[in-house]
Amino acid sequence: MSSLADNLIASAEKHGNRPAIQLDDHVLSYDQLLHRAAAVAGDLRARGVQPGDRVGLVLPNVPAFPVLFYGILLAGAVAVPMNPLLKAREVEYYITDCGMTLIYGLSGNEDAVSTAASTVGIPAVLVPRLGPEGLSGRPLLAATDRADDDTAVILYTSGTTGKPKGAELTHRNMSTNAATTVDTLIEVGPEDVIMGCLPLFHVFGLTCGLNAAVRAAALLTLIPRFDAVQALNVVARDNVTVFEGVPTMYAAMLHSSEADNADMSSLRTCITGGAAMPVEVLKSFERKFACEIYEGYGLSETAPIACFNQPGFERRPGTIGVPVRGCHLRIVDDAGTDVPDGAAGEIAIQGENVMKGYWNRPDASAEAIPDGWFRTGDIATRDTDGYYTIVDRKKDLIIRGGYNVYPREVEEVLYQHPAVAEAAVVGIKHRELGEEVGAAVALKPGAQAASHELKSFVRDRIAAYKYPREIWLVDSLPKGPTGKILRREVHPPTIN
């Protein structure tokens, strides 16, 4: 019997006086984090919350988040983190779908949480940024016993098709992936400082940021909402040794007006995931700040890390590396049969990090894990050395006149143009071809480039059927809560 919260108890016992969580001038030690989380656990028990009950968590990256998250775990309940930008209708869906007992929100930003909770008829507890006050009940300093396969966290997928589904991640899923992150990927200890600008309600920030920091007794320094200039300043101010971000964060810092003056000398390791990292952005960032970026891959359903360019292995920019400890990958066709090295197919994953299923969705769970291997919906190739390269999402595939066009390949070429900051390649409906290739492009500050110039640049570098016939310039591209570019929200012009 074990709990993900045992990591916090162990770190507090060994390193109680060391800083755990920081937001600007406010710092919580590991001893303080444990005692405040224990008070939350006692308050939950006094409110009638029992082991296995679902408790919602709708907060940005503020100290209240880790206090409440570990309090929920200490009480043996299931944490359901949600994006604080959700509207009341969306929060209501999550509450009813997983049958929440109680939901936490942030004071001053409570409209959606309070409205949704009132509609469904559950309590909404609103807390200040630094954590809850005036709690009742006796603190629970020992974690409630949980089995390895008991659910610790429910994370809702983005819901690009149909309604969002809640991925059930167990204590074993979360604990082992945090351990793998600490031991083999970022290799951190109590002296390290991890940048917490990835949203903690997202699996990347939750596992590789918060849970990894707690396991290693490292400091997690928080930024409530990502800003490139603020991120550069915090790296210098707090001597950040590990930076974790999605590609758009790296691009924003690279192109920031403060980039030339930024002190990034404390950085030891940078990791990226959540979307494919353009090779040009990776190389430019490394040259600018004299560091190395390790690219990896994972999903909410895999807690998340499944494959990574890992320290101690040859680093191959443009690939997602090799499978991480305790995880196995295959490349399969639609029938679930392995494809040869070099051929494109769907990534299937098996291992200690794979979810137990989708909450109350037995059919969807069986479809996603038909034979013990989780089907990711991501298309990739594997070379003879075992390195995996993402080609694209299965559903992002563009079929132009019978030819397959993978958006990422075209985007990589666009990113090579010196004026391009961001690009998203999408399919546009076409009467004759079925789909035409289009691209939305955001330029770097102060840069200039005409659509026809970009089109010619790409046409000279890839096969004729792949280059975008339509390129339109935008101020910025739509992004999700982690900063990942959302192709599905890119709306191209109509082609006659």
pLDDT digits over 194-226, tens only?
999 999 999 999 999 999 999 999 999 999 999
Token duo for residue 328: 């196995």
The last residue of a domain, from among 121, 151, 183: 183
| Pairing assessment for the beta strands 124-127 and 345-351 based on DSSP bridges | unpaired
The last residue of a domain, from among 151, 183, 215: 183
Judge whether residue 265 has pLDDT over 70.
Answer: yes
Least confidently predicted of 2-16, 28-42, 268-282, 321-335 = 268-282
Dist. CA 352–CA 354, nearest whole Å: 6
Least confidently predicted of 73-77, 183-187, 273-277, 424-428 = 273-277
CATH number (domain holding residue 478): 3.30.300.30
Judge whether residue 162 has pLDDT over 70.
Answer: no
CB atoms near residue 139 (< 10 Å): 19
Asked whether residue 77 is domain-assigned, the answer is: yes
Quick one: pLDDT at residue 402?
A: 76
Asked whether residue 173 is domain-assigned, the answer is: yes
Dist. CA 434–CA 452, nearest whole Å: 23
CATH number (domain holding residue 48): 3.40.50.980
Query: 423-463 pLDDT, tens per residue?
Result: 999 999 888 888 899 999 999 999 999 999 999 999 999 88
Compute the radius of gyration of the chain from its Cα atoms: 23
> Sheet holding 420-430: strands in order across?
420-430, 434-443, 470-473
CB atoms near residue 89 (< 10 Å): 11
Dist. CA 303–CA 106, nearest whole Å: 25
Asked whether residue 91 is domain-assigned, the answer is: yes
Least confidently predicted of 15-29, 176-190, 275-289, 370-384 = 275-289
Evaluate the omega torsion of the peptide bond into residue 132 and state whether it is cis, within 30 degrees of 0.
Answer: no
Q: What is the DSSP letter of 273?
A: -
C-alpha torsion 477→481→486→489, nearest 10: -80
Quick one: pLDDT at residue 235?
A: 98
DSSP annotation string for 183-202: IIIS---TT-EEEE-S-TTS
Judge whether residue 157 has pLDDT over 90.
Answer: no
pLDDT average, residue stretch 157-181: 87
pTM: 0.89
Query: 104-117 pLDDT, tens per residue?
Result: 999 988 889 999 99
pLDDT average, residue stretch 131-141: 94
- In percent, the amount of the chain with pLDDT more than 70 equals 98
If DSSP states are collapsed to H, E and C, what string results for 396-452? Answer: HCEEECCEEECHHHHHHHHHCCCCEEEEEEEEEEECCCEEEEEEEEEECCCCCCCHH
Quick one: pLDDT at residue 85?
A: 87
Alpha carbon distances (Å) from 20 to 29, 204, 218:
5, 18, 6
> Sheet holding 124-127: strands in order across?
124-127, 100-106, 54-58, 78-81, 151-156, 166-170, 357-358
Dist. CA 73–CA 5, nearest whole Å: 6
| Pairing assessment for the beta strands 403-405 and 420-430 based on DSSP bridges | unpaired
pLDDT average, residue stretch 89-99: 95
The last residue of a domain, from among 183, 218, 253: 183
Asked whether residue 12 is domain-assigned, the answer is: yes
For residue 459, give the H/E element and its range.
helix 451-459
Asked whether residue 466 is domain-assigned, the answer is: yes
Structural domain total, the chain:
2
Asked whether residue 197 is domain-assigned, the answer is: no
Beta strands in 119-222 (DSSP E): 124-127, 151-156, 166-170, 193-196, 219-222
Closest CA to 306 of 185, 464, 451, 442: 185
| Pairing assessment for the beta strands 219-222 and 193-196 based on DSSP bridges | parallel
- Domain encompassing residue 445: 398-489
Quick one: pLDDT at residue 494?
A: 61
Asked whether residue 194 is domain-assigned, the answer is: no
Asked whether residue 209 is domain-assigned, the answer is: no
Of the two residues 402 and 409, the one the predictor is more confident about is 409
